[in-house]
Amino acid sequence: MQSDRPKWQELELGCAVIVPGSTREYKCGDWASMTPKTDPEKCAKCGVCWIFCPDMSRYRDVRTGAYDVNKFYCKGCGICARECPTGAISMVEVSD
Amino acid sequence: MAHRKGIEVSLGVAEAVTACDVDVISAYPITPQTHIVENLSEKVAEGELDAEYIMVESEHSAMAACCGASAAGARTFTSTASQGLQLMSEIVFIASSLRLPIVMAVANRSLSGPLSIWGDQSDVMANRDCGWIMYFVENGQAAHDHIFIAYRVGEDPRVMLPVMVNMDGFQLTHVIEPIELIERSELGDYIPPFVPKVQLNPLKPLTIGPASTPFMFTEAKKAHEEALFKSRAVIEDAWAEFEKRFGRRYKAVEQYHLDDAEVVILGLGGLTGNARAACEKLRSEGRKVGVVNLRLFRPFPAEDLRKALSKAKVVAVCDRAISYGGTGGPVASEIKSAFYGYTGMPYIASFIIGLAGRDVRISDFEHIAKRAEELANRGEPAPYELLGLRE
């Protein structure tokens, strides 16, 4: 087991989380086995992926106007790839 | 001052809850627990007890309300029995894992079906592994006293666990006994104010009961288990302090004529009274019989039991529940495993008695003692026996 994780003696009573907003620290991107990859040639910058993303893991790159992925949160559900009207997004395996 | 009064045991429990000055009560009425909560709702309505009585539509909600109240820092009480405990079961496990020191009186009753309102210990045994501290009381006085003891132990900062006080439905809850009632004014600091370690408070937001991934869950369980084991020292301290203040001594493993006993009848709750009477009778006939009343079931006092039963040749364990398809009564199985690997293990015979309120008379305990000895003399393991089964 990783040594940076808390020992049983170090847990709060009843496993309470005493710091509010701590969910932001939780890297649910760890769950992903697939991750979206956008072909910039096909991307119309329409923002459909951003609208459909259930985890708000899509964000707009202000320089290019295209939509990038926050891989800290993206679980790789593939909804963006399915909904993309130009077929610019494909799901690729997460490499270690 | 404490006054001795002839009172129904259920009402004696309600008197104790009132003296403990609880803040919140949430319960759903179910036979044979009803008189406890009816009486408490009356006391709240009459202004005798300054508490919130939360009416709910089920036991599941009762325990959920208790969890919320306790998490907010309220001294909380509930009571149930049988099907009610099963319906509440999901939240019973959550109360202990959230380390909320709720006190619950369980008027032990059989589980349907066939539908039965009569008493046995099937309900609590089905919730054996819920992670609460569990007492079994044998008379009205012990029922009354253990409400105080439960709050002192559960709310102790070293413990912070819910406590279940088990009492036989009807055979205990509905009888009138002389009880020395402890008044609030006599309590002093026996139960210090409840100071929660982790508290729901809008001014200081936090999360109680979050999800856990596999990498935290094992550690969370270990912390819970360790707290339950460590509560034993606090339980002993609470009993010792109780004796000092109120004069009555309680032990995890109550022993009766054990010094020279060869055959020991072991049970939980009120029926051990008849076992003691049978013990007297058998002793007058020259048989060396003793009785053990197991008052503390969780944390399980394995070491105390090994010590108490070290000289016994035969132990007849009397369960009021069946562990279907298992290896005997649930308590008998635990007594056997307490001895596993230790030398001097007595012959352990398992009897299932008093299911759904079936009478267990003094003569039945005489039979149990003799039958256990007979099985031991055969020298081979025997399956459990259902006392008085027609076949």
Q: What is the pLDDT of residues B42-91, one digit of tens each?
A: 999 999 999 999 999 999 999 999 999 999 999 999 999 999 999 999 99
In chain B, what's the furthest Cα-to-Cα distance? 70
Instruction: Judge whether residue B333 has pLDDT over 60.
Output: yes
Tokens representing residue B302 in the block: 């394995």
Closest Cα in chain B, distance from residue A68 (Å): 28
Whether residue B295 is predicted with pLDDT greater than 70 in this model: the reply is yes
Cα–Cα dist B279/B264, whole Å: 9
Do B210 and A16 count as a contact with CB atoms less than 8 A apart?
A: yes
Q: Which of A7, A13, A15, A18 to mutate to test the interface with B (most CBs of B within 10 A)?
A: A15
Residue type (1 letter), B305: L
Q: What pLDDT is recorded for position A20?
A: 87
| B18: nearest Cα among B53, B62, B60, B59 | B53
- Give me the pLDDT at residue B1, please: 56
The pLDDT of residue A2 is 58
Q: Mean pLDDT for chain B?
A: 97
Q: Which chain B residues are closer than 8 Å to A75 by Cβ? A: none
Tokens of B205: 């937001």
- Residue B287: what pLDDT? 97
CA B191/CA B200 separation, integer angstroms: 22
- Residues of chain B in contact with residue A4, where contact means CB-CB under 8 angstroms, are none
**Is residue B120 very low, low, confident or very high in pLDDT (cuts 50, 70, 90)?**
very high
Q: What number of other Cβ atoms are within 10 A of residue A85's Cβ?
A: 10
Show residues of chain B in contact with A1, CB under 8 Å: 215
CA-nearest of B246, B280, B230 to B142 is B246
Token pair 């969780």 in the structure block, residue:
B298
Chain segment B83-115, per-residue pLDDT in tens: 999 999 999 999 999 999 999 999 999 999 999
Residues of A with Cβ-Cβ distance to B226 under 8 angstroms:
8
CA-CA distance, B80 to B63, in Å (whole number)?
10
Query: Given A5, A8, A16, which is nearest B206 (Cβ)?
Result: A16
With a cut of 80, say whether residue B368 has pLDDT above it.
yes
B183 vs B201: CA distance, rounded Å: 32
Instruction: Find the DSSP H helices in A6-59.
Output: 48-52
Could you say which of B208, B215, B226 has the minimum Cβ distance to residue A14?
B208
**Chain A CB contacts of B231 below 8 Å:** none
Report the alpha-carbon distance of residue A76 to residue A31 in Å, rounded. 8
Provide the H-helix boundaries in chain B: 9-19, 34-45, 59-71, 82-97, 122-126, 140-154, 184-187, 214-246, 272-284, 302-308, 330-339, 362-378
Indicate left, alpha or beta for B325 from its phi (over 0: left) and psi (-120 to 50: alpha): left
Mean pLDDT of B135-148: 98
- pLDDT of the residue at A96: 66
Using alpha carbons, select from B40, B5, B6, B13 the residue that is nearest to residue B106: B13
Q: What are the backbone angles phi and psi of residue B214, rounded to the nearest 5°?
A: -55, -30
Task: Inspect the interface and report whether the beta carbons of A16 and B100 lie closer than 8 Å.
Answer: no
Mutation for testing the B interface, residue in A13, A30, A31 having most B CBs under 10 Å: A13
Closest CA to B298 of B242, B353, B220, B231: B231
Residues of A with CB under 8 A from a CB of B: 1, 5-9, 11-20, 22
Closest CA of chain A from B160, distance in Å: 9
A20/B206 CB distance under 8 A? yes
For residue A21, which amino acid is it? Answer: G
Shortest Cα distance, chain B CAs vs residue A30, angstroms: 12
Q: Interface pTM (ipTM) of the complex?
A: 0.86
Q: Residue B8 and residue B10: Cα distance in Å, rounded?
A: 5
Q: Which residue in chain B has the smallest CA separation from A19?
A: B206
CB contact under 8 A, A13 and B207: no
For residues B359 and B353, give the distance between their C-alpha atoms in angstroms, rounded to a whole number.
9
Q: Binning pLDDT at 50, 70 and 90, where does residue B337 land?
A: very high
User: Is this prediction's pTM over 0.80?
Assistant: yes
**Cβ-Cβ contacts under 8 Å for A56 (sequence gap 6 or more):** A73
Q: Residue B112: its pLDDT value, please?
A: 95
Q: What is the pLDDT of residues B299-313, one digit of tens each?
A: 999 999 999 999 999
Say if residue B138's pLDDT is above 90. yes
Q: Which residues contact A20 (CB under 8 A, 6 or more apart)?
A: B205, B206, B207
Average pLDDT over residues A45-57: 96
For chain B, what percent of residues have pLDDT higher than 90? 96
Average pLDDT over residues B211-233: 95
CB contact set of B186 (below 8 Å; sequence gap of 6+): B1, B2, B245, B246
Is residue B225 over pLDDT 70? Answer: yes
Q: Does A11 contact B219 at a Cβ distance shorter than 8 Å?
A: yes
Contact B384, B332 (CB under 8 A): yes
The alpha-helical segments, DSSP class H, found in B2-121 are 9-19, 34-45, 59-71, 82-97
pLDDT band, residue A4 (cuts 50/70/90): confident
